[in-house]
């Protein structure tokens, strides 16, 4: 395991521990802050980002970090109660931490993605899933020269085949395969491989719970066209990538709900590498590889198709037919 992978593993594991602690002590819905775009962000989002950026900043001080959150809303006068809860959560991990420390760590994530090498982080991918007690992940990836080199997903509520209880970390190194680990014990659960299912009626596809994130009706038409028989598996976050990589589903479709929507790199970088290293394939809806060389947005791509590879070209053909 590369040093970068070890650091990423420890970073997402530590952040997931904070998320679980916050959720156990305080109903997640009571910790919600609304951002300017009306999307929710929780104390756990901020705490997770602070811990991951702290560890990355110490291990790789020359690397930039492109993360989803920023500390601006926390600096508002009305955010004093949220700041107090956040500080308590971080101090459970690191006693003696000050609020200035926390805000500074969060702000380390203000990179723009134009460096030769940088990390991209979603401190809680699937915040609405976290709030409702569903799937969410801490998602971290290392990008160098436009290629994803390292991916790590901490999935506190995901149970992979063979596991008896939820909580898994999935990692991948470019050219080194994808692996799963127990979140609690940090022990290896083995190498991941995509499904080998060749019969379309036996294939399963997953998509976002939120219809605002993916066009469910269009996905259903494509599934029927390709002959996929199973009901869609809907879950929040990049846990869908982990499900495809582990053979729990063969297909993940994320089809845009508007022509103006552009995906963020932190929503896909780690999951993309994990599926590819597990033997699968990830492209946009036109069959083009995801382009991580253009900053914080996947501006050269439209939609996401991840699969075990066997029906990938047929899916792309069907998507174009139903455009």
Concerning whether 45 is annotated as a catalytic residue, the answer is yes
Q: Which of 45, 63, 125, 236 is catalytic?
A: 45
- Assess whether 164 carries a catalytic annotation: no
Of 5, 42, 97, 127, which residue is the catalytic one? 127
Instruction: Kindly state the tokens that stand for 72.
Output: 């601006």
The answer to whether residues 93 and 14 touch, using CB atoms and an 8 Å cutoff, is yes
Asked if 237 and 105 touch (Cβ cutoff 8 Å), the reply is: no
Two structure tokens written together for 11:
């970073």
Q: Is 311 exposed, middle or buried (0-12, 13-18, 19+ CB in 10 A)?
A: buried
Residue 278's Cβ-side half-sphere holds a number of Cα atoms within 13 Å equal to: 35
Q: How many angstroms separate the CA atoms of 244 and 224, rounded?
A: 19
- Residue 198 gets the label, from left (phi > 0), alpha (psi -120 to 50) or beta, of alpha
Backbone phi and psi for residue 18, each to the nearest 5 degrees, phi listed first: -65, -45
What are the residue numbers of the active site? 45, 127
């Amino acid at each position: 395991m590369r040093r970068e992978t070890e650091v990423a593993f420890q970073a997402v594991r530590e952040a997931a521990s904070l998320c679980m602690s916050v959720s156990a002590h305080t109903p997640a819905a009571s910790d919600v802050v609304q951002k300017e775009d009306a999307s929710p962000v929780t104390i756990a989002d901020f705490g997770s980002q602070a811990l991951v950026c702290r560890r990355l900043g110490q291990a790789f001080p020359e690397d930039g970090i492109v993360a989803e959150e920023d500390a601006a809303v926390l600096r508002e006068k009305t955010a004093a109660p949220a700041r107090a809860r956040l500080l308590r959560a971080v101090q459970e991990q690191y006693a003696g931490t000050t609020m200035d420390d926390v805000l500074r760590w969060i702000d380390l994530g203000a990179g723009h993605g134009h460096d030769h090498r940088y990390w991209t982080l979603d401190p809680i991918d699937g915040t609405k899933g976290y709030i409702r007690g569903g799937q969410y992940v801490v998602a971290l990836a290392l990008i160098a020269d436009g290629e994803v080199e390292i991916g790590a997903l901490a999935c506190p509520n995901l149970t992979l085949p063979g596991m008896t209880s939820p909580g898994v970390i999935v990692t991948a190194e470019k050219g080194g395969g994808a692996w799963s680990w127990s979140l609690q014990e940090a022990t290896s659960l083995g190498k991941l491989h995509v499904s080998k299912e060749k019969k379309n009626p036996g294939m399963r596809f997953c998509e976002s719970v939120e219809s605002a994130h993916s066009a469910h009706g269009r996905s259903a038409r494509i599934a029927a066209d390709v002959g996929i028989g199973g009901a869609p598996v809907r879950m929040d976050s990049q846990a869908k990538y982990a499900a495809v990589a582990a053979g729990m589903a063969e297909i993940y479709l994320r089809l845009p709900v508007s022509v103006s929507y552009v995906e963020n790199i932190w929503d896909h970088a780690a999951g993309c590498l994990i599926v590819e290293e597990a033997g699968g394939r990830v492209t946009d809806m036109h069959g083009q590889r995801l382009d991580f060389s253009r900053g914080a947005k996947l501006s050269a791509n439209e939609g996401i198709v991840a699969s075990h590879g066997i029906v990938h070209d047929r899916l792309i053909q069907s998507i174009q037919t139903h455009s």
